[in-house]
């Protein structure tokens, strides 16, 4: 589709797709893109797509002279495009999968990336080069990391943070597209009124009273109104009532089938922060900056890291049930 650009770029050479020939605009675009990547210490083995004539015919329409950092906000795999949220703020920027380098690199919501910006044939801003950030902790400067966060009330927040509750359900699809993402857990000020049903389900599963007491409480030094843990999210699925009402799913959710949400998201891994972060909760998934040193040592923040494939043995039955 793009001649020999992609195989040549895999050799570490920057290639410019020039369907209209080697124009002055295409040459300038190649030089600017190479200079930006080189000065930032990034891999230059990428493909710069779109000739100058396709971008309005003027070299000035190419603005990929500086690399920016950000996170993939959404990526529609079937449509092969998505949007990136710049770390410095501002409007989200469109990108097509053809701009992602190296070809075949998997990106998803939450992936930390570096990118350069140009314009399409209609003069609209778009990413002309997208790469995974070499420092995948989405650094925002000053030893901080930018992550998404969501809020839960007790006792369910404690059950998630302790790693007991391995499925989070919602009636909305807010976690759809977050598979493989690392998110923070905030504890709300209220207690969710389920009438003690979670206790019945835990007892049915054979959990002892002292263990129930431990799992439903926050760790010492942590309190409501704080960010307390980091989670690795798995797949989100719409479950029918029959599946929701199975004991395996009820035990993983800590709720009866008729009480839980219809969309179930796997919680693959959890860890308490080294220090809680006081914060006022917000609806849905919201972005927060936290000091990098509160993230547990060894926790992989790479959105495509191995943690998304790590499933506790105790959770395998539930995963198999949902997969079938």
Structure tokens at 206: 């054979």
Q: For the segment 276-310, what is each residue's pLDDT rounded down to a tens digit?
A: 999 888 888 988 988 888 888 778 765 433 333 33
**What does the alpha-carbon distance between residue 166 and residue 199 come to, in Å, rounded to a whole number?**
16
pLDDT-derived band at 317 (thresholds 50, 70, 90) equals very low
Q: Which helix (H) or strand (E) holds 323?
A: helix 316-323
- In this predicted structure, the answer to whether residue 2 has a pLDDT above a threshold of 60 is no
pLDDT-derived band at 156 (thresholds 50, 70, 90) equals very high
- In this predicted structure, the answer to whether residue 58 has a pLDDT above a threshold of 60 is no
At a CB cut-off of 8 Å and minimum separation 6, what does 313 contact? none
Q: How many C-alpha atoms does 207 have within 13 Å on its Cβ side?
A: 22
pLDDT-derived band at 20 (thresholds 50, 70, 90) equals low
Q: For the segment 172-210, what is each residue's pLDDT rounded down to a tens digit?
A: 888 988 888 899 999 999 999 899 999 999 999 999 999
Domains delineated in the chain? 5-132 (2.40.50.140), 144-323 (no CATH)
Pairing of strands 81-86, 93-96: antiparallel
Distances (CA, A) of 146 to 93, 140, 152: 18, 7, 20
- In this predicted structure, the answer to whether residue 141 has a pLDDT above a threshold of 60 is no
**What does the alpha-carbon distance between residue 106 and residue 180 come to, in Å, rounded to a whole number?**
11
Any idea which of 108-112, 132-136, 209-213 has the lowest mean pLDDT? Answer: 132-136
- The more confidently predicted of residues 31 and 322 is 31
Note if the bond before 185 is cis, omega within 30 degrees. no
> What's the whole-model pTM score?
0.53
Strands laid side by side in the 167-170 sheet: 167-170, 263-278, 226-238, 182-191, 144-154, 286-291
Residue for token digits 């509160």?
294
Pairing of strands 144-154, 286-291: antiparallel
Q: What is the pLDDT of residue 61?
A: 36
CB 323 within 8 A of CB 234: no
Identify the bridge partners of residue 124 per DSSP, sorted by sequence position.
Answer: none
Q: For the segment 214-251, what is each residue's pLDDT rounded down to a tens digit?
A: 999 999 889 999 999 999 999 999 999 999 999 999 99
**Residue 276: what are its φ and ψ, rounded to 5°?**
-70, 155
pLDDT-derived band at 6 (thresholds 50, 70, 90) equals low
Q: Which helix (H) or strand (E) holds 207?
A: none
**What does the alpha-carbon distance between residue 251 and residue 315 come to, in Å, rounded to a whole number?**
10
- Please give the sequence-ordered ranges of beta strands (E in DSSP) within the chain, or none if there are none: 15-16, 47-48, 68-76, 81-86, 93-96, 112-119, 125-132, 144-154, 167-170, 182-191, 226-238, 263-278, 286-291
**How does the average pLDDT of the chain come out, rounded?**
78
pLDDT-derived band at 148 (thresholds 50, 70, 90) equals very high
């Amino acid at each position: 589709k793009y001649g020999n650009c992609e195989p040549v770029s895999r050799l570490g050479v920057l290639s410019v797709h020039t369907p209209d020939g080697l124009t002055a605009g295409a040459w300038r675009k190649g030089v600017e893109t190479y200079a930006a990547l080189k000065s930032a210490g990034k891999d230059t083995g990428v493909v710069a797509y779109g000739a100058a004539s396709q971008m309005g015919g003027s070299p000035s329409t190419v603005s990929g002279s500086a690399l920016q950092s950000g996170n993939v906000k959404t990526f529609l795999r079937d449509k092969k495009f998505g949007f990136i949220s710049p770390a410095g703020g501002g409007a989200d920027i469109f990108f097509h999968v053809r701009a992602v380098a190296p070809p075949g690199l998997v990106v998803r919501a939450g992936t930390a990336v570096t990118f350069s910006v140009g314009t399409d044939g209609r003069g609209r801003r778009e990413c002309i080069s997208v790469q995974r950030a070499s420092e995948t902790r989405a650094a925002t400067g000053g030893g901080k990391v930018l992550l998404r966060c969501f809020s839960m009330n007790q006792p369910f927040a404690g059950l998630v943070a302790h790693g007991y509750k391995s499925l989070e359900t919602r009636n909305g699809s807010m976690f759809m597209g977050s598979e493989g993402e690392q998110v923070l857990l905030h504890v709300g000020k209220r207690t969710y009124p389920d009438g003690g049903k979670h206790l019945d389900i835990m007892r049915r599963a054979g959990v002892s009273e002292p263990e129930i007491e431990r799992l439903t409480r926050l760790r010492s030094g942590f309190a409501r109104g704080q960010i307390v843990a980091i989670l690795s999210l798995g797949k989100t699925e719409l479950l029918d009532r029959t599946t929701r009402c199975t004991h395996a799913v009820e035990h993983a959710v800590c709720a009866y089938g008729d009480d839980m949400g219809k969309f179930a998201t796997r919680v693959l891994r959890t860890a308490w922060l080294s220090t809680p972060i006081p914060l006022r909760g917000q609806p849905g998934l919201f972005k927060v900056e936290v000091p990098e040193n509160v993230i547990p040592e060894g926790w992989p923040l790479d959105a495509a890291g191995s943690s998304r494939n790590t499933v506790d043995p105790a959770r395998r039955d539930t995963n198999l049930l949902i997969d079938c």
